């Protein structure tokens, strides 16, 4: 995999655990075209890796102040309607890649997650946040609306009424407030954030990777279905897993009272 980027860092921690760091601390890790291009390339390469080489992805920001403080306003200021449409579609497409990845994607929010940063976190499977983290969609203060999926994903995460209030006011909320409303899974002291994420990843890695990927697929697909259709879809995904060796290994290990040795096949 390409590992030399200008605006992101991509590190293979161990056992298929990758950390993607938005690396523009001088700009509070603001998203610009280069960041989006490099993120897209990194995610495409991740998606091509076999299960044993890519088991989980953690996304965070460089420095102590920001996860991602938003999109690059100087770049946005120069857009016209056509370019703005392309810019929004580009961000939406890349963040959707997080959904398409078969592996769990966890946001480790270590500071400001505003605008595009909040949208990036929302694109991840779940969010752990440092106590000093702040969340918000302040686009209305610029005469804009969120363009990278914020009006779609925030409502699904916290409900329409809370999403409307946060989007209309552009207010920032604390990590604890985000946790209370269900946006954030855990809030931790900054020094404990990454160790907690890695501990959760370790728990996930002990499970069957195909089953984890199938769980993600079923949950994500259910978003756009009614209950009856979603349950039918779930049953199909459940049944497909019986073609895998991991199902045989997992059930046999349970019966034989031993630890399962999953291979991701």
CATH of the domain at 186: 3.90.226.10
* Angle, alpha carbons 252-254-257 (nearest 5°): 105
Distances from the Cα of 67 to the Cα of 40, 61, 230, 259, angstroms = 18, 4, 34, 37
- Give dist(CA 130, CA 107) in Å, integer: 11
| Catalytic member of 48, 139, 165, 249 | 139
Query: Is 261 within a domain?
Result: no
The helix/strand/coil state of 134 is: strand
The helix/strand/coil state of 39 is: helix
Closest to 40 measured CA to CA, from 101, 111, 85, 127: 101
Mind listing the pLDDT tens digit for each residue in 226-251? 999 999 999 999 999 999 999 988 88
- Domain count within the chain: 2
Mind listing the pLDDT tens digit for each residue in 78-114? 999 999 999 999 999 999 999 999 999 999 999 999 9
User: Among the ranges 40-54, 160-174, 202-216, which has the highest mean pLDDT value?
Assistant: 160-174
- Give dist(CA 7, CA 247) in Å, integer: 41
Structure tokens at 23: 């690396």
| Catalytic member of 11, 37, 119, 177 | 119
Mind listing the pLDDT tens digit for each residue in 149-172? 999 999 999 999 999 999 999 999
Q: Is the pLDDT of residue 2 over 80?
A: no
Distances from the Cα of 116 to the Cα of 46, 94, 145, 148, 151, angstroms = 22, 12, 11, 6, 11
Query: Is 1 within a domain?
Result: no
Sort strands 17-22 and 8-14 into parallel, antiparallel or unpaired: antiparallel
Residue 119 bears catalytic tag = yes
- Give dist(CA 91, CA 96) in Å, integer: 8
From the number of C-beta atoms within 10 Å of its C-beta (0-12, 13-18, 19+), residue 75 rates as middle
Q: Is-contact 141 92, C-beta < 8 A? A: no
224 and 200 housed in the same domain: no
193 and 240 housed in the same domain: no
99 and 226 housed in the same domain: no
189 and 222 housed in the same domain: no
Parent domain of 242: 209-256
Alpha-carbon torsion 101, 18, 200, 69, what sign?
A: negative
Query: Is 2 within a domain?
Result: no
Mind listing the pLDDT tens digit for each residue in 15-41? 899 999 999 999 999 999 999 999 999
How far is it between the farthest Cα atoms of the chain? 64
- pTM for the full predicted model: 0.94
157 and 232 housed in the same domain: no
148 and 164 housed in the same domain: yes
CATH number at residue 237: 1.10.12.10
Tell the residue number behind the tokens 């595009």, with chain if given.
116
What's phi and psi for 171, nearest 5 deg?
-70, 150
């Amino acid at each position: 995999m390409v590992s030399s980027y200008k605006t992101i860092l991509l590190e293979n921690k161990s056992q298929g655990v990758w950390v993607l760091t938005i690396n523009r601390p001088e700009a509070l890790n603001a998203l610009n075209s280069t960041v989006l291009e490099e993120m897209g390339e990194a995610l495409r390469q991740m998606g091509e890796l076999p299960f044993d080489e890519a088991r989980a992805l953690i996304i965070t920001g460089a420095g102590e102040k920001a996860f991602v403080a938003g999109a690059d306003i100087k770049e946005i200021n120069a857009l016209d309607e056509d370019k703005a449409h392309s810019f929004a579609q580009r961000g939406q497409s890349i963040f959707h890649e997080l959904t398409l990845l078969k592996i769990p994607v966890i946001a480790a929010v270590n500071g400001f997650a505003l605008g595009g940063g909040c949208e990036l976190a929302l694109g991840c499977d779940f969010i752990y946040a440092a106590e000093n983290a702040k969340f918000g969609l302040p686009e209305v203060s610029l005469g804009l609306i969120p363009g990278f999926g914020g009006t779609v994903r925030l409502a699904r995460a916290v409900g329409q009424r809370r999403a409307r209030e946060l989007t209309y006011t552009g207010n920032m909320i604390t990590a604890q407030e985000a946790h209370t409303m269900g946006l954030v899974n855990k809030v931790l002291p900054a020094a404990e954030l990454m160790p907690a994420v890695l501990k959760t990843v370790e728990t996930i890695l002990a499970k069957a990777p195909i089953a984890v990927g199938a769980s993600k697929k079923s949950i994500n697909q259910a978003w756009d279905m009614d209950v009856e259709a979603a349950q039918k879809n779930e049953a199909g995904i459940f049944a497909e897993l019986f073609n895998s060796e991991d199902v045989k290994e997992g059930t046999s290990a349970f019966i034989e009272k031993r630890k399962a040795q999953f291979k991701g096949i």
